[in-house]
Amino acid sequence: MKNKLKMLMALSLSVILASCGGKGGDKAEKKAADPGDVSGKITVQAEEEWMDYYKKAAERVKEKYPKAEIEFKTVKSFDHLDVIDQTDASNEDVADLFAIPADRLAGLVENDILGSIDSKKLADEIGGWDDFDKGIGGNFKIDGEYFAFPYNIETLITYVNKKNAEAKGVDLTKPIELNDVKDESTVLLPIFDAWYGVAATNSSNIELLGKDEEGKLFSDFTKDWKDLEPEKQATVKALYEYWKKHDAAGTKLFDPDAGWGYIDDTFKEGKGGVARLGGAWDAASISEQAGKDNLEICPIDQITLAGKPLNHWQSGWGLAINARIEEDANKKAIAEAMIKEIVNPKFATDLYKSTGKILENVKNDDYQKSDLPDSDKKIIEATIKSYEKAPARPLFKEWGNVWDTYKNAILSWNSVKPANEEEAYKQLQASFKSMMANFNK
């Protein structure tokens, strides 16, 4: 759709140039540059809890563009994406400005849902980035164009049950090494799920699916065991030994359905769970499981695997504009002004209070100086510290095949019962070789 809009715009522009003189063009440019002349109506997707903050952001936009109209569509982000998936960008139920998770970017661009954004210009005007392209902003760029602007950062952090740690004699002043933990329940990692599993594989730079300099897909897990680097072998061995402990104890952690309930229950006081991973969005439920004043929040590197700190991804959400307004200079100006106000660093604390979102362009020190509760400050600090050390999340569409490929390989250990790490690796290798073969068909 975006390409069709550009073609129509090009035809319209040729007609205008043929019928107008140079002076008229100069006047048109001046008029478009005058904020008082920017007019139009855009729709903005917002969740119910976000509305107060978004309305105030819209008021600030209208101070700059008095003739602008901003209407809100109150709908949850994933429900809004469902509407997009079932229709297209022209559907009036699809907003002109909306939030998207990073992993949806490639598919939405491919389906001509998103319009390009002058993100570098916006970033310079908003401020706060040392190197915009090194963060999630650069990950929103496809073929030289930006199709979303950084909204909030996401990565995994470590939650610790303090009383369980004390009961087990776990020293929280130093990292918890998974290989040194004697029993299976101390560290609770759902490593059968790749969202959590990559925290382990990233620790030794295992590439589950990557692209080389020529854009060719590859996976470290197609290598023979003898060719896998020692530190990567150590990671696989640690994952296998962790599975082995749970298998011997007969726990349900490696049950894809019951595993989550096992983790939640074991993390309660007196049940033995000391450390688990989660996102900032999990804080309320995990805090309830741990009990009042019994939760410590740490960066993800509070847990190590084979001597290497766990490391997740630089992930998050972006703000995107609908392709249908890309060639409407007025509407696009209003939408970009709204983006600027939503992620305005001056209101970062208010944004967090309203949405729980942490901005990439605001320093941890600034959040720590705010009036937020100490518990929120700890969540923010742990998230920012973990995010800063993490690699960018892979957003190319082929990576979507990794989820089931990895999960099925890990869960196969339950039935195969590998005798050692090399036997366990054979299941991973077979699964990933099959995935790679499908790409070459």
- Does the domain formed by 2-21+35-154+315-389 have CATH 3.30.2320.20? no
Tokens 């090009």 sit on residue: 10
The pLDDT tens digits of the residues spanning 124-167 come to 999 999 999 999 999 999 999 999 999 999 999 999 999 999 99
> What is the chain's mean pLDDT, rounded?
92
The pLDDT tens digits of the residues spanning 92-108 come to 999 999 999 999 999 99
The pLDDT of 248-264, averaged and rounded, is: 98
Quick one: pLDDT at residue 440? 76
Residue 57 has pLDDT above 70, yes or no: yes
Q: Is 180 helix (H, G, I), strand (E, B) or coil?
A: helix
The pLDDT tens digits of the residues spanning 257-286 come to 999 999 999 999 999 999 999 999 999 999
State how far the Cα of 138 lies from the Cα of 154, in Å rounded to an integer: 15
Quick one: pLDDT at residue 35? 67
Beta strands in 48-175 (DSSP E): 67-74, 97-101, 114-115, 141-142, 145-146, 149-154, 157-161
Whether the Cβ atoms of residue 128 and residue 74 lie closer than 8 Å to each other = no
The pLDDT of 34-62, averaged and rounded, is: 94
Quick one: pLDDT at residue 312? 98
Quick one: pLDDT at residue 88? 93
The pLDDT confidence band at residue 1, using thresholds 50, 70 and 90, is: very low
The pLDDT tens digits of the residues spanning 418-429 come to 999 999 999 999
The pLDDT confidence band at residue 441, using thresholds 50, 70 and 90, is: low
Quick one: pLDDT at residue 4? 44
- 157-312+396-439 CATH: 3.40.190.10
The pLDDT of 7-30, averaged and rounded, is: 38
Q: What are residue 374's phi and psi, to 5 degrees?
A: -60, -35
Quick one: pLDDT at residue 37? 83
Q: State the Cα angle at 112 between 109 and 115, rounded to 5°.
A: 75
Burial class (CB in 10 A: 0-12, 13-18, 19+), 415: exposed
Q: Where in the chain is the domain with CATH 3.40.190.10?
A: 2-21+35-154+315-389, 157-312+396-439
